[in-house]
Amino acid sequence: MVGDTVRITTPKGTHDVDFVIAGTGFVTNLELRPELATVHEHIARWSDRYTPPAADEHADLSRHPYLGPAFEFLPRVQGSTPWVSRIHNYTFGCLPSLGFGGASISGMKYSIPRLVRGITASLYCEDADGFYAALCAYDTPEFDV
């Protein structure tokens, strides 16, 4: 900022402007996401699960993650890295797998409850043995008679 203007330096020079509209492009590619740098190779893509007819091939769609029913990533090689399902992808990247989700206000009415149910169920299932053991060990009387 320079006073009330924005100074932008580009390869074509320096420009003082009143506002900035940033268009960063639109592509789904898990390999470009720094937060997924150590895990993207374990995540299934549509290209891992589906081969479209030649006339319907689309490079961008084939890079989209192939998601489970609660927006969770699935292992690229089935059964190899089950921990990836603990990571949920609630972005535009869910479109081919589950329809509109995190990138569509009109889809959130349906997708948020689905996401919450899925995360809640997975957390419960991971600790089900502990919950059951605690229930079995419960021995506090309800009434003192």
**68-92: burial string, b at 16+ Cβ within 10 Å, e else:** bebbbbbbbeeeebeebbeebbbee
Higher pLDDT, 21 or 7: 7
Residue 22, pLDDT score? 73
Residue 25, pLDDT score? 65
Residue 142, pLDDT score? 82
Per-residue pLDDT band at 20 (split at 50, 70, 90): confident
Residue 101, pLDDT score? 77
59-69 confidence digits (pLDDT tens): 999 999 999 99
Count of alpha carbons within 13 angstroms of residue 28, beta-carbon side:
21
Per-residue pLDDT band at 24 (split at 50, 70, 90): low
